[in-house]
Amino acid sequence: MKRLISDKELVAYIDGQLTKEEVCSLKAKALENGEADLLLHVQLAALECDGEIADELLGKDFFMQDDDHLSTIAIAAKSFPFVENKE
């Protein structure tokens, strides 16, 4: 039976609170049950929400400044192998 990643695990992953062993275990579970793309998307979505905090802790993100925000990840989301989860 598939062991889906729990909301608790997902939030801890977003928050960077997991140990190396826990991250390895979570990734293995994600592979097993086809939720690998979820791990990537939640990280990037959380970054969108925490933009101001990121600027405060890390400084401005000059690398993305010249970018057309709409086109960046959308294209990659289609072509990335990791979005092709098993059903």
Residue ranges that bind other proteins, judged by CB under 8 A: 7-8, 10-12, 14-20, 23-24, 27-28, 30-31, 35-61, 63-64, 67, 70-82, 84-87
Q: Residue 3 or residue 59: which is nearer to other proteins going by CB?
A: 59
Least separation in angstroms between residue 3's CB and other proteins is 15
Residue placing its CB nearer to other proteins in the complex, 1 or 75:
75
Do residues 52 and 64 make contact, with C-beta atoms less than 8 angstroms apart?
no
Q: What's the closest the beta carbon of residue 5 comes to other proteins, in angstroms?
A: 8
Instruction: Provide the minimum distance between the beta carbon of 1 and other proteins in the complex, in angstroms, as a whole number.
Output: 17
Whichever of 3 and 23 has its CB closer to other proteins, that residue is 23
Dist. CA 12–CA 83, nearest whole Å: 21
Burial of 83 (0-12, 13-18, 19+ CB in 10 A): middle
DSSP track, 13-55: HHTT---HHHHHHHHHHHHHHT-HHHHHHHHHHHHHHTHHHHH
